[in-house]
Amino acid sequence: MTKVLLIDDDVDLTTLLQEYLAEEGFEVTATSDGRAAIAQAAANSIDIIVLDIMMPDMNGIDVLQRIRRLSQVPVLMLTAKGDDVDRIAGLNLGADDYVSKPCSPGELVARLKAILRRSGSASAATPQDSLRAGELIMHPGTRTADWRGRPLELTGTEFSLLEVLARHAGQLVSKQDISKHALGRPLTPFDRRIDVHLSSIRQKLGMREDGQSWIQSVRGHGYQLLQDR
């Protein structure tokens, strides 16, 4: 069973989500203690985390920051409706996605399953499964990547986004196509998830010798992974 760690101090919501997730086949552990959640993430005892931003003692942003120092476990944030600052901060720190509260249990489960599909290992990987774009080598079967001969640490969502660009290296890919192929859903107006995740990937790739970013954006059109010169 997929193990979910639910971090939220809202007792009523937590009880509702625990029951719904259990019916969907998830094994759920709930806590309102951010430090306990960090310890569980470090122990690699869970498959995915649902993390509320607004919590007492240690807020969700601080918890996420600590978790990302220790683990790349997928994280879905629960945020207040319209709170773009927390959403962007969370995505910048490596959260995979977010859902606005109040949310329906069905939407939450759908998002969890989508994240797990993106971050989970595929069945059997062989050397032929590797995808190469210049000095970038991606292994979709194991969801791992190498950049310039060294492992490239990516969250599940970051891997999916970069894979789409790598399959079309040197070509402009629209944000709508990136969203459909990497995230499995159409892009909605004012949704900045892709921009924030790709900004994180840019930082991890570093700069080219000519001073340009490896991932170029064309305002209003999309993104392009540059090829080696």
Could you identify the residue written with the tokens 């090829």? Answer: 227
Do residues 39 and 139 share a domain? no
Radius of gyration (C-alpha) of the chain in whole angstroms: 18
Q: What is the pLDDT along the chain (229 residues), one digit of tens a residue?
A: 899 999 998 888 888 888 889 888 899 999 888 888 898 888 878 899 999 988 877 889 999 999 998 888 999 999 876 678 888 888 988 899 988 887 778 888 888 988 888 776 433 333 446 889 999 999 887 778 999 999 999 888 888 899 999 999 999 999 999 988 887 778 887 788 899 999 999 999 999 988 999 999 988 789 999 987 5
CATH assignment of the domain containing 158: 1.10.10.10
Do residues 107 and 137 share a domain? no
Residue 117: its H or E element? helix 105-119
Do residues 48 and 110 share a domain? yes
Could you tell me the pTM of the whole model?
Answer: 0.67
Do residues 31 and 62 share a domain? yes
Do residues 14 and 104 share a domain? yes
Do residues 188 and 219 share a domain? yes
Do residues 114 and 6 share a domain? yes
- Residue 145 belongs to what domain range? 127-225
> What is the distance between the alpha carbons of residues 103 and 86, in angstroms, rounded to a whole number?
17
> What is the distance between the alpha carbons of residues 193 and 34, in angstroms, rounded to a whole number?
25
Residue 123: the pLDDT is 36
